[in-house]
């Protein structure tokens, strides 16, 4: 099995301590040693040295990782389990060893344009078609378009009320995030990203509703040498700017809001202030113990397709984190985490999107 030399170094080193096991949302949910970065590194290290076969069980274990980077953030020695886990997925794709559940998602993407295999939401399509052309594009993304379309519509209406000149594509291309997540850096992933970049090249500014799309457009397109041409802005950054400039007039309330930091914003894009600027303008920010770059994943919709019970436990654990700090109103910064948190919301707690939080204080 051909890992890069850099991955081999990390594989052989990342297996001697348990310093990061407490930060892994999957391992914490399942309680299984196999879900720790240390155990995954040990198994893949044996595969890399041809000591054992790259079996179905090990490949399944590779897909039990959320790639959230909590282990990387918490590693004092600088090893990167996300790097070799993504490379292991890439190798599985190149060697024709992808699990059936991953192949099904790829088939859905080819047939329907999304890994969930769902049809477009009629109301969201109608809303997008009602908007005029603009050089600013509000990019909804795969998760919100097919799993939380009502939230996307509410976000569009918030921007309209703020007088923003923007448009939304009724036939939005897939950004490539899901491909990058499930099979890594292979030619098919690049092709999806190139297709998106081609369709988005006409815009001056792209505001990404989903941090996942902002991450791939800001970072992975450059790694592939894909020219986008537009300035990519996160939704939270954009809204914070509207509030600062007075285009979104909010009235500060006495409500407490607790941000659920997306690791994609906090760790991948180094953005933690924007959501707090928004919520501070609307009320009081009350933090969970694990926040900002130390945030813990609250759910992943791609993994929910093949590990729904585990994703449910991951979301439930995050509610426990909130309760332990007497936080009762959580504001999600990603559609995936909103969806999962809402699906298991305790009766005495509240989950909001950013636009819902702002809507309470306009």
CATH number at residue 13: 1.10.1060.10
Tokens of 155: 């976000």
Helices (runs of H) and strands (runs of E) counted in the chain? 21, 7
pLDDT tens digit at each of 362 positions of the chain: 678 888 888 888 877 777 777 889 999 999 999 998 889 999 999 999 999 999 999 999 999 999 999 998 888 777 889 999 999 999 999 999 999 999 999 999 999 999 999 999 999 999 999 999 999 999 999 999 999 999 999 999 999 999 999 999 999 999 999 999 999 999 999 999 999 999 999 999 999 999 999 999 999 999 999 999 999 999 999 999 999 999 999 999 999 999 999 999 999 999 999 999 999 999 999 999 999 999 999 999 999 999 999 999 999 999 999 999 999 999 999 999 999 999 999 999 999 999 999 999 99
CA distance 30 to 322: 19
Q: Where are the alpha helices (DSSP H) in 207-282?
A: 211-215, 221-224, 235-244, 263, 273-282
**pLDDT at residue 276, rounded to an integer:** 98
Give 258's DSSP letter: E
Is the domain of 85 the same as that of 129? no
Where is the domain boundary, 240, 260, 290? 240
Is 334 within a domain?
Answer: yes
Is 114 within a domain?
Answer: no
221 and 193 Cβ atoms separated by less than 8 Å: yes
Is 116 within a domain?
Answer: no
Where is the domain boundary, 240, 265, 288? 240
Is 167 within a domain?
Answer: yes
Where is the domain boundary, 209, 240, 271? 240
Element (H, E) at 139: strand 136-139
Is 111 within a domain?
Answer: no
Is the domain of 217 the same as that of 313? no
**pLDDT at residue 1, rounded to an integer:** 66
33 and 39 Cβ atoms separated by less than 8 Å: yes
Q: Which residues contact 255 (CB under 8 A, 6 or more apart)?
A: 282, 283, 284, 329, 360, 361
CA distance 208 to 158: 15
Q: Which residues contact 353 (CB under 8 A, 6 or more apart)?
A: 151, 154, 155, 331, 332, 338
**pLDDT at residue 14, rounded to an integer:** 78
Is the domain of 230 the same as that of 312? no
**pLDDT at residue 140, rounded to an integer:** 98
Domain that holds residue 210: 122-240
Number of structural domains found in the chain: 3
pTM, two decimals, is: 0.96
358 and 333 Cβ atoms separated by less than 8 Å: no
Question: CB neighbours (10 Å) of residue 81?
Answer: 26
CATH number at residue 218: 3.40.50
């Amino acid at each position: 099995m051909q890992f890069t030399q850099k991955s081999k170094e990390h594989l052989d080193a990342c297996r001697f301590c348990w310093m990061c096991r407490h930060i892994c949302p999957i391992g914490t949910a399942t309680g299984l040693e196999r879900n720790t970065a240390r155990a995954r590194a040990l198994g893949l290290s044996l595969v890399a040295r041809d000591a054992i076969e790259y079996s179905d069980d090990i490949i399944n274990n590779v897909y039990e990782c959320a790639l959230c980077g909590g282990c990387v953030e918490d590693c004092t020695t600088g090893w990167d389990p996300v790097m070799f886990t993504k490379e292991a997925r890439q190798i599985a794709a190149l060697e024709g060893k992808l699990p059936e559940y991953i192949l099904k998602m790829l088939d859905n993407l080819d047939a329907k344009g999304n890994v969930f295999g769902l049809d477009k939401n009629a109301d969201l399509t109608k809303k997008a078609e009602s908007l005029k052309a603009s050089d600013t594009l509000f990019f909804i993304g795969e998760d919100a378009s097919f799993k939380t379309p009502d939230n996307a519509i509410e976000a569009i209406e918030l921007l309209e009320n703020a007088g923003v000149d923007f448009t939304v594509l009724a036939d939005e291309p897939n950004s490539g995030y899901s491909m990058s997540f499930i099979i890594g850096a292979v030619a098919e992933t690049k092709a999806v990203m190139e297709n998106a970049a081609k369709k988005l090249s006409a815009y001056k500014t792209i505001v990404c509703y989903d941090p996942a799309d902002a991450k791939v457009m800001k970072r992975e397109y450059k790694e592939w040498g894909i020219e986008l041409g537009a300035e990519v802005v996160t939704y939270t950054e954009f809204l914070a700017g509207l509030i600062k400039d007075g285009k979104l007039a909010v009235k500060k309330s006495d409500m407490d809001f607790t941000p659920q930091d997306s690791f994609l914003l906090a760790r991948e894009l180094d953005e933690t202030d924007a959501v707090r600027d928004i919520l501070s303008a609307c009320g009081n920010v009350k933090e969970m113990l694990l926040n900002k770059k130390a945030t813990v994943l609250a759910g992943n919709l791609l993994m929910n397709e093949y590990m729904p019970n585990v994703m449910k436990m991951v979301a439930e654990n995050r509610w426990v984190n909130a309760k332990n700090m007497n936080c009762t109103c959580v504001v999600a910064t990603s559609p995936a985490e909103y969806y999962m948190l809402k699906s298991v919301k305790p009766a005495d707690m509240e989950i909001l999107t950013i636009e819902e939080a702002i809507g309470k204080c306009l």
